[in-house]
Amino acid sequence: MKKYSFWALLLLLLVLVAPGIGHADSAATHINLNGNELAITKDTQVQVVNGSVMVPLRLVAEQLGYSVKWDNVTKMVTIEQAGTTLKLVLNRATAESSGKQVQLDNPPILSGSITLVPLRFVGEETGTTVGWDNPTKTVYLTSPPKAPLKSEPAETNSAPVGSETSSGVNSQGAAVTNLSFSDNRLSIAVNGSVSPSVFAMTGKDRIVIDLPNTFYSQSFVQNLSLGNKQNGTLEVIGNPDVSTVRYSLFSNSPSAIRVVIDLNRAKTYSVINANDGLIIVDLNGTGTTPTTTIAPAAPAATVPPAVVSGKKRIVIDAGHGGKDPGGISVNKRKEKDFALATALKIEELLKNDPDIEVVLTRSDDSYPTLQDRVRIANNLNADLFLSIHANSIPAGSKSNPSGTETYYTRNESLQFAEIVHKYLVPATGLSDRGVRQSSLHVTRETKMPAILLECGYLSNANDEALLYSEDFQQRVAEAIVAGIKEYLG
């Protein structure tokens, strides 16, 4: 019995001093290069040392096309490719990059016979886009764009910009011409056929959109910021669901672009891709669906008009404002200016009505948040809420829509939407794009019948010219007032 206890204690001691034994499977890590997972063994696992992600140098460097040499005497690793030479020495916190000294987050270390180096060093010194997803223990690597052949003219921008044909397709695939995010919808304009792969990731909530066989077009580079690592960020202001939208060259061969929506909380989404040059990821829905085309909203039960009992309180919301310009028109005009001008005209028409009290969420170029707008209406116990907007799609889309749309969320708002829309369409003289159901924040969180109007398209030159004319704005205001009065009986 004593002999058994001695060996049991010895075995326990061995486990404690060699914690890696028996734990490789439970702590397995992953390395993803250009969308493909590399085969790694127990000896080549990624490790986190002093907060720094350490990766197996030979495996990563050779996959990126570098040659790797090891000097057992000096304990130096040399990696080379096309004039770039990197030298690292075990346990030394500085490295040499083409003759220059580089400070490392952590010195290279040996794990068994494998040399591990900081992931950040790999990215900075090879031009590779790197990332680390801690919940899944995955390193993401995207190769830098290949340099053009000597017989080809070099691009003026380092991004892989293709020579587009009339169809937008070349040997690299389809061109991504623009991105925009508004009203909880990400719009991606493409010149060509693209079948996106869209999926959600937990941990840090985000939605990932991979666009295979795509490249940045010249118009994309001109309209959006693109860093030397072929990535950038769209600014998202005052959105309760989304913090940022990021885009990057995810793969160089074949070329592919990845767009990531960083969320403040988990969200469901739907994808709309009718192969018309516009891919939409809509966060306003109630479920995750595969790629679909837009379908008409299901019929909803109507609600009788509000019974008149004293003065009715109407909240008119001029969309955007202040630091948030909203959409930008083809002639660089701002959506917020159209919205405010029209809201002020509605106020002018209603202010002397003895049966109606009108309240504006903003009467100047200020920016109340979406939550502020909802709070104003709910705290006032308003009878109706109406938000003024103008629509747009990204530049470069094959389609160029024109027309008027009215949105609602809750069934009790449908009749209000239908009545206002009935007056709005003939007043604008634009195409009738229908009454649509969508889970927009200001129409979802308000407690009274609430609608949002998209009075025309800023991205359409004809619509834009009308939207910023005094006569058009006055007609729209009069139509809205007529709809409000009919709904109130």
- Are 360 and 347 within 8 A, CB to CB? yes
| Average pLDDT value for residue range 318-328 | 90
Question: Is residue 423 very low, low, confident or very high in pLDDT (cuts 50, 70, 90)?
Answer: very high
**Domain count for the chain:** 3
Q: In CATH, what number is assigned to the domain containing residue 202?
A: 2.60.40.3500
Which of 316-330, 336-350, 464-478 is predicted least confidently?
316-330
Please state the pTM of the whole predicted model: 0.46
Could you tell me if 238 and 349 lie in one domain?
A: no
Residue type, position 353, single letter: D
Is residue 97 domain-shared with residue 227, that is, in the same domain? no
Asked which of 107, 142, 177 is the last residue of a domain, the reply is: 142
Same domain, 411 and 477: yes
> Is residue 177, in this structure, part of any structural domain at all?
yes
Residue 292 lies in a domain: no
How large a percentage of the chain has pLDDT more than 70? 78
**263 compared with 4, residue with greater pLDDT:** 263
Sheet of 312-318: strand order equals 356-360, 312-318, 384-391, 450-457, 404-408, 432-437
CA-wise closest residue to 140 among 37, 14, 21, 224? 37
- The range of the structural domain enclosing residue 436 comes to 312-488
Do 383 and 461 belong together in one domain?
A: yes
- Of the listed ranges 84-88, 216-220, 280-284, 418-422, the one predicted with least confidence: 216-220
Q: Which of 54-63, 301-310, 368-377, 442-451 is modeled with the greatest confidence?
A: 442-451
What pLDDT does 27 receive? 52
Q: For 467-483, how does the pLDDT look when each residue is reduced to its tens digit (9 = 90+)? A: 999 999 999 999 999 99
Q: Is the pLDDT of residue 51 over 90?
A: no
For residue 130, the model assigns a pLDDT of 66
User: Is 291 a domain residue?
Assistant: no
Give me the mean pLDDT over the 445-456 stretch: 95
Specify whether 362 is located in the same domain as 235: no
- Whether residue 287 has pLDDT greater than 60: no
CATH of the domain at 84: 3.30.457.10
- Looking at 92, 127, 142, the residue that finishes a domain is 142
pLDDT band at 265 (very low <50, low <70, confident <90, very high): confident
Residue 129 has a pLDDT of 66
Between 118 and 480, the higher pLDDT residue? 480
Question: Considering 142, 177, 198, which residue would you say is the last residue of a domain?
Answer: 142
| Domain co-membership, 475 together with 331 | yes
The residue among 253 and 460 whose pLDDT is bigger is 460
Q: Is residue 407 part of a domain?
A: yes
Looking at the structure, do residues 179 and 245 belong to the same domain, yes or no?
yes
Q: What is the mean pLDDT of residues 348-353?
A: 90
Q: Are residues 129 and 182 in the same domain?
A: no
* 186: pLDDT strictly greater than 70: yes
For residue 386, tell me if it sits in a domain: yes
- 268 pLDDT higher than 50: yes
Give the C-alpha separation, 208 to 233, whole Å.
14
Q: Is residue 122 part of a domain?
A: yes
Q: What is the pLDDT of residue 488?
A: 92
Section 329-335 average pLDDT: 92
Contact 186, 198 (CB under 8 A): no
Please say if the pLDDT value at position 294 is more than 60. Answer: no
Q: Is the dihedral of CA 478, 182, 321, 382 positive or negative?
A: positive
- 434 or 54: which leads in pLDDT: 434
Tell me what pLDDT residue 396 has.
Answer: 67
Does residue 347 register a pLDDT over 80? yes
pLDDT given at position 303: 37
Residue 103 forms part of a structural domain: yes
**Predicted local confidence at residue 10, as pLDDT:** 46
Residue 424, domain CATH: 3.40.630.40
Q: How confident is the model at residue 296 (pLDDT cuts 50, 70, 90)?
A: very low
Q: What band does 267 get if pLDDT is binned at 50, 70 and 90?
A: confident
- What's residue 446's pLDDT? 93
Which residue matches tokens 């005497």? 73
Answer with the residue of higher pLDDT: 249 or 163: 249
Q: Determine, yes or no, domain membership for 204.
A: yes
